[in-house]
């Protein structure tokens, strides 16, 4: 292992690699600060460009963009009352009121330092938990892997907004159906091609990913063309900004609690930092001695807790992606696509066969947060200008970059047509308020689910009993069932308790 660590350090601490991480962080901070341009969008734009790069260089660059974009959302949340990314939704609740009272620099400092500490804590969890989980996963058979796919979809449905669980399942089945297009690896027969030879190879994941996420967002952003966002005018003072570090560290328990919430929620497949942001804010309010002051921009922990949680969820989301090949959120889904683009399948064998790649990811994660901490001290004025850029200039550039990136993957127009087709599908799903993430997960995890189900039935001579009798797969399926059954039951019990008189 020590040899792999040294190899990882030698790759990441090359001058050009460090420069790539720094540029990735800077670009991520700017993109993340602009409302509507999420970390998923940032990584989607960059992944096709990494095709011609060595993976030892591409992964640190992507980690820089990932960390910078998630963290960058706090600027829009504090100064515009619009989260730059969904992960910063909870930061608006107290960050903007604090800034409106003339304490914008303090609000930014509290958010930045807590996000950096939360991200560092999650990095430690990533280094400690991921190798142990990979060792456990080495004993998994096809029954356990299929059960994990089932748990992934049930987890997404359980975490969906009220009334959208059924829609999440429908979206998952759409993704699974799209994954069936092309050649059946077992029989070699074509299926669902409708006579089009281009469909025989199936749908390439990255054009689908970019289309489903980019086009609906760009079309939604066109509604804001012509609207002038009201940005709070601030006099940025570096001394005031740095003085908030002591205030953040003095509330160490709020940081630890929120970071743990972010890590745990980040590990749950398909959930992501948006939920951890809100949950951490809610828990901080419940734990506070003065909960009535939340929402008024008076308490430091009301800004710190959501930011620590959403950055902590990044390390948590990378754990299932690296160890099981199941992404924790939409951004790590794009990262998974980058691994696949370079011919590497994340999973327990990644730690055995490509241990140096794993440590490159680990080290680049910490280096990216170090650059975040440094650049934030000087890039705040630049990000303030970035959130004021008119949308009519941003949207066409992003659409061109997406189109060129999809074509450059395989130098064929079919990928561009897939990008546009999936973009149209994503826009229709957006109108119908159907979540997009299950579609993508179904498309990517569908082949794995089919393969593992076939192997499990072959080994079990057609019997389904091993799925329930094997301890690990049985436990995973039980948890998946409980994740669907418990939330509505608990919701009804709470509603009855609220109705009954005290």
**Cα angle 44, 46, 52; round to 5:** 125
Where in 238-388 does DSSP place strands (E)?
none
Q: CA 143 to CA 121: how far, in whole Å?
A: 33
Q: Rounded CA gap, 326 and 347, in Å?
A: 8
Question: What is the spatial distance between Cα 106 and Cα 112, in angstroms, rounded to a whole number?
Answer: 10
CA distance 160 to 148: 18
Burial of residue 162 (number of CB atoms within 10 Å: 0-12, 13-18, 19+): exposed
Torsion angle (degrees, nearest 10) of CA 429, 432, 433, 434: -50
Residue 317 tokens, joined: 């989301």
- Rounded Cα gap, residues 229 and 232, in angstroms: 10
| Residue owning tokens 């460090």 | 18
| Angle, helix 330-341 to helix 437-459, in steps of 10 degrees | 60
Residue among 19, 14, 33 at smallest CA distance from 73: 33
* Cβ–Cβ < 8 Å for 311, 70: yes
**pLDDT computed for residue 367 by the predictor:** 92
Task: Kindly give the confidence (pLDDT) of every residue in the chain, 502 residues in length, as a single tens digit, with 9 standing for 90 and above.
Answer: 667 788 888 888 989 999 999 988 988 888 777 766 667 777 877 877 787 788 888 889 988 988 888 888 788 778 777 666 666 777 878 888 888 888 888 888 888 899 899 889 998 988 888 888 888 777 778 888 888 888 877 776 665 555 567 787 788 888 888 888 877 766 667 777 777 777 777 777 778 877 887 788 777 777 666 655 555 566 777 788 888 888 888 888 888 888 888 888 788 766 666 667 777 887 888 888 887 788 787 788 888 888 888 888 888 888 888 888 877 777 787 788 788 777 888 877 888 778 888 899 899 999 999 998 888 887 777 776 666 666 677 778 778 877 877 777 677 788 888 888 888 888 888 888 887 778 877 887 787 788 888 888 888 888 888 888 888 888 888 888 887 777 667 666 666 655 555 4
Burial of 213 (0-12, 13-18, 19+ CB in 10 A): buried
Residue 254: φ, ψ to 5°: -65, -40
Residue 462's φ and ψ, nearest 5 degrees, are: 85, 0
Q: Which residues of 364-403 are buried (b: 16+ CB within 10 A; e: fewer)?
A: bbbbbbbbbbebbeebbeebbebbeeebeebbeebeebbb
- pLDDT given at position 502: 46
Contact 59, 102 (CB under 8 A): no
C-alpha triplet 323, 326, 332: angle, nearest 5°: 95
By the 8 A CB rule, do 25 and 371 touch?
Answer: yes
Residue that the structure tokens 């892997």 belong to = 145
* Integer angstrom CA distances of residue 438 from 47, 141, 448: 21, 24, 15
Q: Where are the domains of the chain?
A: 2-497
Q: How far is CA 337 from the centre of its chain?
A: 13
**Helices of type H across 180-300:** 205-221, 238-250, 252-267, 273-287
Q: Evaluate whether 270 touches 155 at the Cβ level (below 8 Å).
A: yes
For residue 282, the number of C-alpha atoms closer than 13 Å in the C-beta half-sphere is 9
Q: Identify the burial level of 129 via C-beta atoms within 10 angstroms of its C-beta, where 0-12 means exposed, 13-18 middle and 19 or more buried.
A: middle
- With beta carbons less than 8 A apart as the criterion, state whether 138 and 434 touch: no
First to last CA, the chain: 60
* Cβ count near 488 (within 10 Å): 12
pTM: 0.75
Q: Where do the DSSP E strands lie in 43-196?
A: 182-183, 190-191
- Rounded Cα gap, residues 337 and 95, in angstroms: 34
- How many Cβ atoms from other residues are within 10 Å of residue 19's Cβ? 11
In angstroms, what CA-CA distances link 347 with 175, 321, 325? Answer: 21, 7, 5
Structural Rg of the chain based on CA atoms: 22
Which DSSP state fits 354?
-
């Amino acid at each position: 292992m020590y040899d792999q660590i040294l190899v990882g350090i030698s790759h990441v601490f090359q001058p050009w690699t460090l420069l790539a991480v720094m540029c990735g962080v800077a670009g991520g901070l700017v993109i993340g600060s602009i409302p509507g341009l999420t970390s998923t969008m940032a990584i989607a734009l960059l992944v096709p460009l990494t095709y011609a790069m060595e993976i030892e260089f591409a992964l640190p660059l992507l980690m820089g963009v990932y960390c910078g974009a998630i963290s960058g959302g706090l600027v829009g949340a504090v100064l515009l009352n619009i989260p730059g990314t969904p992960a910063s939704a909870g930061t608006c609740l107290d960050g903007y009121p604090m800034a409106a009272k003339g304490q914008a620099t303090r609000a930014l400092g509290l958010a930045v330092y807590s996000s950096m500490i939360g991200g560092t804590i999650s990095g430690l969890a990533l280094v400690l938990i991921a190798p142990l989980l990979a060792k456990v996963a080495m004993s998994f058979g096809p029954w356990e892997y299929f059960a994990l796919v089932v748990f992934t979809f049930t987890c997404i449905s359980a975490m969906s907004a009220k009334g959208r669980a059924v829609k999440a399942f429908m979206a998952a089945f759409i993704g699974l159906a799209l994954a069936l297009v092309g050649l059946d690896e077992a029989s070699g027969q074509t299926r669902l091609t409708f006579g089009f030879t281009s469909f025989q190879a199936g749908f390439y994941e990255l054009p689908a990913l970019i289309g489903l996420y980019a086009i609906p967002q760009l079309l939604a952003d066109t509604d804001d063309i012509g609207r002038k966002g009201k940005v709070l005018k601030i006099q940025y003072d570096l001394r005031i900004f740095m003085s908030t570090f002591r205030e953040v560290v003095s509330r160490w328990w709020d940081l630890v609690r929120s970071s743990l919430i972010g890590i745990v929620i980040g590990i749950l497949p398909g959930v992501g930092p948006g939920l951890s942001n809100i949950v951490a804010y809610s828990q901080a309010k419940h734990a506070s001695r003065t909960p009535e002051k939340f929402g008024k921009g008076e308490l430091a922990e009301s800004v710190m807790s959501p930011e620590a949680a959403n950055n902590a969820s990044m390390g948590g989301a990378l754990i299932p992606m690296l160890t099981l090949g199941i992404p924790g959120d939409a951004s790590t889904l794009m990262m998974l696509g980058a691994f696949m683009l370079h011919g590497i399948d994340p999973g327990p064998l990644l730690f055995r066969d490509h241990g140096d790649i794993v440590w490159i990811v680990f080290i680049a994660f910490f280096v990216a947060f170090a650059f975040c901490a440094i650049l934030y001290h000087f890039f705040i004025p630049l990000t303030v200008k970035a959130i004021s850029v008119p949308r009519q200039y941003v949207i066409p550039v992003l659409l061109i970059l997406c189109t060129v990136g999809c074509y450059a993957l395989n130098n064929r127009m079919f990928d561009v047509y897939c990008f546009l087709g999936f973009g149209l599908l994503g826009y229709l799903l957006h109108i119908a308020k159907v979540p997009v993430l299950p579609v993508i997960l179904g498309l990517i995890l569908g082949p794995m689910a089919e393969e593992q189900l076939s192997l499990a039935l072959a080994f079990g001579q057609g019997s389904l009993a091993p799925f329930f009798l094997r301890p690990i797969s049985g436990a995973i399926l039980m948890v998946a069932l409980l994740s669907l059954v418990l939330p509505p039951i608990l919701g009804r019990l709470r509603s009855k308790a609220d109705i009954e008189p005290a």
